[in-house]
Structure 1
Amino acid sequence: MTRDWSLDLLFPLIARMPTTLPWSLAGLIGRESAAERARLQRWLEGLFARVFPCATGEQHVQWAKAHLAMMAQEMVDAMAFHRLGRRGGPSIALQGEEHAKNLIRKGQGFILVLNHYDRILTAPVALAQAGVATNVLTMPVLDNPELGAAQRRFLLRKIQGYTAVTGGIWHTTSDGLRPVHESLRSGQGWVILADAWRPEFGRLRGHPFLGGSLSLPTGIERLAQSTGVPLLQAATYSPGPDRLEVDVEPLPDNPRQAIDAVVQRLERDVLARPWAWWQWGLWDQMWQPKAEMEGNP
């Protein structure tokens, strides 16, 4: 839904503007055409009304607008990772980096678990600035048949900028997991998103979430179990377009319990700031209401 010229020209150009103005402009300009943005806002308002019926209509409108602005601001992040936390870019307040540093000092590999929440890749950028390099494992990107040519070009630039800043590699599940296993065992850190979802995923587990069940892949817990590495969790919060806060926390030793804790925190975060979760477009695929959940074997 993002305009091709925005991907090829607009966001790369405004990301070069001095000061933090690009991030404020992004929220005003948006990723989509005016007509498409209006349609998306109405759809989000309706979804928020369904999921959060106790909130007011005014809140639903505010959340929808904030969600669309955040997604546009992340487009600027993608073209300016080197500016995050630096002079002339959004500030980053990082807490909990010692948990990752302690593991690095011990030569211990680890998995840094993120969710599709707020400006999600800020945490690895902030850790890199604190001396902790990480790799990232994602679903297929450039070989995803659903992507257009402009989206592929944008993502390639994003990947190049991200890895240049974080000091690691970008690896996808389509490339096989053996290098990830070996890297974790050799003491490196890997970033993986817990709430990634695709219709072809077959190994899913339900988690209590907003009165129903959220189905998420079990890949992280299986990877942690097979490699014996600990898990950390990081979450980013943006009080404003130019202000970012990152919190890194340790997770339980048991991988299953660790992912349960990740989802519990995600639920708290979504309840506090519904607009900041990226995955609303997949809500009806990822989530089941309680009655339907209880009816399943």
Structure 2
Amino acid sequence: MKADSLPKRIRLKILFPAMAWLPEKIAYALANLIGWYDWRTKQSERSAIEKALHSIPVFGDRDITLWSRRYYQMMARDTLDCFRMPNFTPGNTNRLIRVNNAEALAAAKAAGNGVIMVISHFGRFFMLGPGLKFSGLEFGMLTTDVDERNPHYDTIGRWYINTKLHNTQLFSRGTWITIGDDHRRIYRALREGEIMLIALDGMESNSSSRILFPFLGGILSLPEGIVRIAATTGAKLVYAATVDHGYGVEINIYGLPDDPRQAMGAAVGILERDIIARPWHWWQWTGLGVLWQTETKQE
């Protein structure tokens, strides 16, 4: 166990599950306190995050230290969300989760070829599950492997991500596919008209086929998979971003162009705009080099 953090097993199996039973404001205030503690104690990880933030040309001399603190507090609230989800209802989340422009998703679904809801590792995006469900929209999802095929998780980490995804799946009757599964299942689900959530900024793809986009003063390199799947199936693309609103979240849904490559470009543009507004919401700072590089390196 690392001396600079709460023991992982106690945190995930005792502390946060107990906090989930507390009144909402008290629970999230405690989560913010845990996030502050993590910010103070996880020095090595924090340094890597702040170094990544400093590397972004468009940020200049803005307050990187404040952003890193807010990052840890947001991540602690996300952990609390996981354990509160099984008790979510339309009644007790009507002020916690707000969905904007759900009609864009409904219109895309009405086209009849399935929908790829493009998401990113931004904000408390797992709240999409209850948000979509309580808006009357069923969905499926493509996620990381959550078993022994994924070497990045230790035993407690694997238990946690399994719990998190199973709790998200409580709000969906759609197909749950992992990246290690037969990818034909994705095409089948879309052809059956499902809404499939797929993250554009995952870091586990081994695809050699990449698409490059201008991003944050450098170049973002993404797998071509979403574009290829949409082109093959005729699925419509929409983008969803989850941003903090007090202790709760707002889920903003955006229609995208019909052309899959143009749609991805538009989604990347929305993500870039959101990161500039709320840099602490993006999860991928610790692995920035996998996805992003300066234009100088690209040359």
Distance in 1, matches of 2:256 and 2:212, equals 19
For 1:107-256, what aligned pairs fall within 5 Å after superposition?
A: 107-143=112-148, 144-198=150-204, 200-240=206-246, 242-256=247-261
Distance in 1, matches of 2:152 and 2:48, equals 22
CA RMSD of aligned residues (A): 2.3
Distance in 2, matches of 1:26 and 1:267, equals 27
Distance apart, 1:171 and its partner CA: 1.2
TM-score by length of 2: 0.89
Check whether the contact 2:143–2:198 (CA below 8 A) recurs between aligned residues.
yes
Residue type matched to 2:19 in 1? I
Question: 2:69 is matched with which residue?
Answer: 65
Check whether the contact 1:85–1:91 (CA below 8 A) recurs between aligned residues.
no
Distance in 2, matches of 1:286 and 1:79, equals 30
Question: 1:81 is matched with which residue?
Answer: 85
Distance apart, 1:193 and its partner CA: 0.3
Instruction: Look up the SS of the partner of 1:195 in the other structure.
Output: coil
Alignment length (residue pairs) = 291
Check whether the contact 1:233–1:262 (CA below 8 A) recurs between aligned residues.
yes
Moved more, 136-145 or 197-206: 197-206
Residue type matched to 2:197 in 1? V
TM-score by length of 1: 0.89
Distance in 2, matches of 1:176 and 1:100, equals 26
Instruction: Look up the SS of the partner of 1:256 in the other structure.
Output: helix
Distance in 1, matches of 2:24 and 2:111, equals 39
Structure 1: gaps spanning 5 or more residues: none
Partner deviation per Cα, 1:200-230 (whole Å, 9 max, x = no partner):
3422221111111111111111111111110
Check whether the contact 2:119–2:241 (CA below 8 A) recurs between aligned residues.
yes
- Give the percent of matched residue pairs that are identical in Structure 1 and Structure 2: 31
Instruction: Look up the SS of the partner of 1:80 in the other structure.
Output: helix
Check whether the contact 1:128–1:167 (CA below 8 A) recurs between aligned residues.
no
Matched, 1:277 2:287: no
Question: 1:97 is matched with which residue?
Answer: 102
Distance in 1, matches of 2:16 and 2:116, equals 31
Distance in 1, matches of 2:113 and 2:103, equals 14
